[in-house]
């Protein structure tokens, strides 16, 4: 995915990638949604929890930043090991949740993150150092990483799994 250079492009990419992901989900039945093995032991349901959790983390980071606070969990300096531990924590906490509950959260989370992104001034998105928690990246980098880029990753994982199971 190309790096976004405007709010309009970022919003377009978010909407486009989310629609593609949603389309890939419509092709799955409930049994397929809870089948393990899409990404490691994760099911599609677990991927959706993962996406919603990271959208929530972004909202926490952003809200802390606009309030002049330091986020509880800082993304800056989060190495692969810490990220893997966080992802495992999210999985463990949510793996026994009901699919319908996860689907509701998945949709509500998207609505919340989209509504928030709509309100962010473009200059705040692309001004390096605007928020201390973004480190060397821009807010737009974090937005893309927790929305459109993440949706594209999820869609690709589901597609790869479908190809493996159809063979």
- 1 has pLDDT over 70: no
* Contact present, 158 and 47 (Cβ < 8 Å): yes
Residue 108, pLDDT score: 98
- 93 has pLDDT over 90: yes
Residue 75, pLDDT score: 72
Instruction: With cut-offs at 50, 70 and 90, classify the pLDDT of residue 59.
Output: very high
Lowest mean pLDDT segment, chosen from 35-44, 63-72, 111-120, 148-157: 63-72
For the segment 110-116, the average pLDDT, to the nearest whole number, is: 98
In Å, how far are 70, 123, 158 from 73, measured between CA atoms? Answer: 8, 25, 29
- 95 has pLDDT over 70: yes
Cβ neighbors of 108 (< 8 A, separation 6 or more) are none
Percentage of residues of the chain with pLDDT beyond 90? 80
Question: Which CATH number is associated with domain 7-166?
Answer: 1.20.120.450
Cβ neighbors of 72 (< 8 A, separation 6 or more) are 60, 64
Instruction: With cut-offs at 50, 70 and 90, classify the pLDDT of residue 138.
Output: very high
Q: What is the DSSP letter of 98?
A: -
**Which residue did the predictor score with more confidence, 128 or 77?**
128
Average pLDDT score over the chain = 93
Lowest mean pLDDT segment, chosen from 3-12, 39-48, 115-124: 3-12
* Structural tokens at position 40: 């490691």
Residue 66, pLDDT score: 92
* Contact present, 82 and 73 (Cβ < 8 Å): no
For the segment 96-112, the average pLDDT, to the nearest whole number, is: 98
């Amino acid at each position: 995915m190309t790096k976004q250079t405007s709010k309009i492009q970022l919003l377009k990419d978010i909407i486009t990638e989310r629609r593609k992901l949603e389309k890939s989900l419509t092709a799955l039945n409930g049994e397929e949604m809870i089948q393990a093995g899409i990404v490691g032991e994760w099911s599609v349901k677990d991927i959706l929890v993962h996406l919603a959790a990271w959208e929530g983390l972004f909202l926490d980071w952003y809200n802390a930043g606009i309030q002049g606070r330091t986020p509880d969990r800082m993304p800056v300096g989060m190495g692969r090991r810490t990220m893997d531990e966080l992802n495992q924590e999210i999985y463990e906490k949510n793996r026994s949740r009901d699919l319908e509950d996860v689907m509701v959260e998945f949709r509500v989370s998207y609505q919340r993150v989209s509504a928030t992104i709509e309100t962010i001034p473009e200059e705040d998105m692309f001004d390096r150092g605007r928020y201390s928690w973004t480190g060397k990246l821009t807010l737009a980098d974090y937005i893309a990483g927790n929305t459109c880029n993440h949706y594209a990753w999820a869609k690709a994982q589901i597609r790869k799994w479908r190809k493996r199971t159809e063979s």
